[in-house]
Amino acid sequence: MKSGQDLGAGILFVTFGAIGLFFGEEYTRGSAAQMGPGYFPFFLSIALLAIGACLMVRSLLVSGPGIERFVIRPYVFASAAILLFAGLIASAGLAITTVVMTLVASAASQNVAWREAAILSVVLAGGSVVLFVYVLGQPLTIFGS
């Protein structure tokens, strides 16, 4: 094996392709002229399998980087940001939730510039309010209930 990252990516592609074929087996495929509900998932799964196989072969032939050390910090803070959004949106409103979520997600990086993160959170909150509340007319509270 010359490239651990290609091998790992190939394994993931093959795994998702196989899962797609397994769960899409019960859907009717149909034909190109009359596609059934399983037509696109079937060919997408086949494409994933092919890409995965190519990556796995490439990992044996072409030198590349190895698999890097696993770092848990980004996963913890990104997951926390998503959970905070789900927990706060109804009570704190869109603007406050967006600011909190952006600041927590920014903490996923060890090299975060907090001033830039704060500016980004305010800009994202304002843009979200304009887009979702005023442009799209979504029934969201802006600053809580």
Residues 86, 47, single domain; the answer is no
To the question of pTM greater than 0.85 for the whole model, the response is no
Residues 84, 56, single domain; the answer is no
Please enumerate, as own/partner, the contacts of 87-90 that have beta carbons within 8 Å and a separation of 24 or more.
89/140, 90/145
**Residue-number span of the structural domain to which 102 is assigned:** 73-135
Domain end residue (candidates: 20, 39, 61): 61
Residue scoring higher pLDDT (4 or 145): 4
Q: CA neighbours within 13 Å on the CB side: how many for 125?
A: 23
Q: What is the pLDDT of residue 62?
A: 82
Residues 89, 110, single domain; the answer is yes
In angstroms, the CA 98 to CA 121 distance is 7
pLDDT digits (tens, 9 = 90+) for 81-93: 999 999 999 999 9
- Is 66 part of a structural domain of the chain? no
pLDDT digits (tens, 9 = 90+) for 30-41: 888 888 888 999
- Total domains, the chain: 2
Q: What is the pLDDT of residue 65?
A: 77
Query: 67 pLDDT band (50/70/90 cuts)?
Result: confident
